Chains A and B, each alone.
Chain A
């Protein structure tokens, strides 16, 4: 049973997160330790394992990039090794520019405005890539799956940038 079947939802990148959360809670209740207070040790152990599995499944489907990766793996698309370096020069040049832009925020005359500007640029570019990946995932053929895989790798760079933005925001608040 795959993660989508587990929560009784359609295999798709478009997930109704509210529905997913509801189904997750319902499912977790069925394996809650209270229910197994008087059960055998073996039954208790199985319930704990099931609960962990349900949790893994929920975390995977809740996060868009993990969900995309899960769908691609389920389709048998060979994901490149995570350690395998990425060599799309123009994309990486842009990533360099974005990181420089983020670095300059701190030294800008109006730090708040500069931070907002970076956030807006990042979310626009993330959204564009993510929409593209969504379309490619829904086409579901060899070429589109491989293109989706490529865009998923690109989105991970944006995910990392967003972490950096949050970190910068926190450190600016501390100053």
Chain B
């Protein structure tokens, strides 16, 4: 299948690949997976005390679209508040990357990764 130029760009030059210490209280970790294709995605956000995402890292095992979706998301969330980041929709990701219908689930995975990371952060905060 032909990937769009934007997918190829993120796939060949992924932004913000890496890991943060998941036990750091200011680090939010979102882990999601897709049983159908076996993709696994980890998104980590460093969040300031006033709730701003200062840095984002990802590691994804999956197809080009899954890698591109998570790479794009790390660019988008930086500088946003967690509320703003939580409003990022998979449709916006799919549109930006021109994902074909069979790859929409990759963008859903990336949206779910943001939500999972925010959940993780909230549960860390309430401890």
Contacts and interface: CB of A to CB of B under 8 A. Distances in A.
Interface of A: 82-83, 85-87, 89, 91-93, 95-96, 99, 153-154, 156-157, 159-161, 163
Q: Is the interface of A mostly helix, strand, loop or mixed?
A: helix
Given A99-B40, A156-B38, A159-B38, A86 B108 contact: no
Given A99-B61, A156-B36, 11 more contacts: A85-B108, A86-B34, A87-B32, A87-B116, A89-B29, A91-B33, A92-B31, A92-B40, A95-B61, A96-B59, A99-B40
Q: Is the interface of B mostly helix, strand, loop or mixed?
A: mixed
Nearest to B22: A93
Contacts, number: 58
Interface in B26-75: 29, 31-38, 40, 42, 59, 61
A83 B31 contact: no
A98 to B, nearest CB: 9
A82 B38 contact: no
B33 A86 contact: yes
Given A82-B36, A160-B38, A89 B31 contact: yes
